[in-house]
Amino acid sequence: MNSLALSSRLAPRRLTLILLLLIFTAALCVSTTCVSDTFPGAVEFDRSHIVAAILNVSIFAPVVLLFAYAGFSFGYIVSFNFFTMIAGYLWLIPFSVLTYDHRLAYVSIIISGLLFILPSLFITSPGRRHPPLSARAFDHLLSVMLLVGATVAAVGALYNFTPVGLSEIYRYRAELNFPAPLRYALGTTSNVLLPFAFAGFLERKLFGRAGLALLLLLLLYPVTLTKLTLFAPFWLVFLTLLSTWAPPRAATILSLLLPMLAGIVLFFAMRAGLFPLGIGSLYVGTVNSRMIAMPSAALEVYNNFFSEHPLTHFCQINLLKPFISCPYDEPLSVVMSKAYQLGAFNASLFATEGIASVGPLFAPLSALGCGLIIAIANRLSSGLSPRLILVSSGLILQALVNVPLSTNLLSNGAALLFVLWYVSPRAAATTTGKPLNRAKDEQQPAQARTMLSAG
């Protein structure tokens, strides 16, 4: 009886999620078309190819059913963002003006997406766990993160502190030359430590300290001169509001759907002369183009480049460089920048660990391996508050869709984030700040499973 009642309650939620995902997919195609002129020399919009683009995306669209039936996890967030990237690329293929084997790339990215998404969504069981930190120790850990964040920001300011507008950051950023240890510290602090501290303080209801974490993130902007650090505090607040008002799976979808819809409205409002061009172009260029469409365009560019140039065989990974001969003396982002005049073109694991390293034929195997790594993160974070997972991973997620997985694990602190999740108190202890009694502790796993299945 109980299982039947639970199923009857979950069915409307699944239908709502499916509808939301289909709306998202349609909006993604419109958004990608709106900004297609951002990628000159790679794609060219032609109305005669719209039917082919719709068919391309429609074949991949049934993947949304997996998101309707899977429970919430870190892998759910990552997989949804990669679904966005892959669906956007499938929409772009018919408009491509590049000459690589589009059929091979089409089949490869669909299989790669499935082999990544399946373990990332469905391997979520908790692993063997040592006793987590006490509430008091967790508080101390979060305070240490604030101290580290302040220290890194101060040291970074000794090398660069240039509070300039967004239109000038590229001119000054080209001159930055941080020592390697500081460069790694800045990446880990901005992508992991301060977002985790913010999310942790929210769970502990220590709002003043959470605000201090956001302030430190904002202070990193004139040091690093990246858009991500400037918008990071607003993005984390946005994720917090979504995860507070909406169930975690719906919040994940809305986190991209709402900003994307706003950009579509602004795009057509600007074309009709109803909105200032400068402000609207900044928003659409940042959100619809750079945040959402650019990772898809990277697949287009990497497929074309490595159809004509040697593969890397993972030589772009710093730890492997001493052991593998490499045909490229510069980072791949610089190589792509020189080849396509689209700026420094970093790309996700599908483009780097996949296409660039082993080619489209074997890229699905690479994607499977990366999906299993995300599955490990699911197991390490199992039982945590969904809001803590969503908010604390808010910035590393943006890095994952734009930067190789190996770089994120080693340089941007993703591996450290997984460890922090592992040692964190589970949901009830994190929120109340008081030790759980034995009865409540025994109830918590069942409550967590119910919450995840209903999420």
| Residue 379, pLDDT score | 95
pLDDT at position 130 is 74
pLDDT band at 445 (very low <50, low <70, confident <90, very high): very low
DSSP 205: T
Angle, helices 135-159/207-219, rounded to nearest 10 degrees? 20
3-state class (DSSP) for residue 316: coil
Q: What is each CA distance from 24 to 17, 124, 211, in whole angstroms?
A: 10, 25, 32
Phi, psi of 197 (to 5 degrees): -60, -45
Q: Is residue 422 part of a domain?
A: yes
Asked, for residue 227, whether it belongs to a domain, the answer is no
In a domain, 211, yes or no: no
> How confident is the model at residue 433, as a pLDDT?
40
Q: What is the DSSP string of 37-76?
A: GGSTTTB---GGGHHHHHHHHHHHGGGHHHHHHSPP-HHH
Classify residue 246 by burial, with Cβ atoms within 10 Å: 0-12, 13-18, 19+. middle
Q: What would the two tokens of residue 63 be? A: 């993947």
Residues above pLDDT 90, as percent of the chain: 70
Assess if residue 284 is contained within a domain: yes
β-partners of residue 250 are none
- Sequence-ordered list of residues with C-beta below 8 angstroms from that of 451, at least 6 positions apart, any chain: 386
Q: 168, 230, 231, 121: which is closest to 452 by C-alpha? A: 121
* pLDDT grade for 374, boundaries at 50, 70 and 90: very high
Six-digit token string for 394: 């808010």
Of 46 and 94, the structure prediction assigns the larger pLDDT to 94
Residue 246 domain-assigned (yes or no): yes
Q: List strand residue ranges (DSSP E) for 177-223, in order.
A: none
Q: How confident is the model at residue 429 (pLDDT cuts 50, 70, 90)?
A: very low
> What is the reported pLDDT for 9?
58
Summarised one tens digit per residue, pLDDT across range 128-182 is 777 778 889 999 999 999 999 999 999 999 999 988 887 788 778 778 889 989 9
Task: Give me the pLDDT at residue 323, please.
Answer: 82
Parent domain of 103: 11-130+242-454
Q: In the block, which residue shows the tokens 């040697």?
A: 310
Burial 392-420 (b: 16+ CB within 10 A, else e): bbbbbbbbbbbbbbbbbbbbbbbbbbbeb
The answer to whether residue 298 sits within a structural domain is yes
Task: Please tell me the distance from the alpha carbon of residue 250 to that of residue 119, in angstroms, as a whole number.
Answer: 20
User: Tens digits of per-residue pLDDT, 279-318?
Assistant: 899 999 999 999 999 999 999 999 999 999 999 999 988 8
Taking only Cα atoms into account, the Rg of the chain, rounded to an integer number of angstroms, comes to: 22
222 within a domain of the structure (yes/no):
no
Mean pLDDT for the chain overall: 88
Give 432-435 contacts, CB < 8 A, sequence gap 24+.
432/135, 433/135, 433/139, 433/204, 433/205, 434/135, 435/134, 435/135
pLDDT digits (tens, 9 = 90+) for 216-261: 999 999 999 888 899 999 999 999 999 999 999 999 999 999 999 9
Write the single-letter amino acid at 12: P
In this structure, is residue 409 part of a structural domain?
yes
What pTM was computed for the model? 0.90
Model confidence band, residue 4 (pLDDT cutoffs 50, 70, 90): low
Domain count for the chain: 1
Of 431 and 41, the structure prediction assigns the larger pLDDT to: 41
Nearest Cα neighbor of 390 from 199, 226, 231 is 199
Mean pLDDT for 116-133 is 88
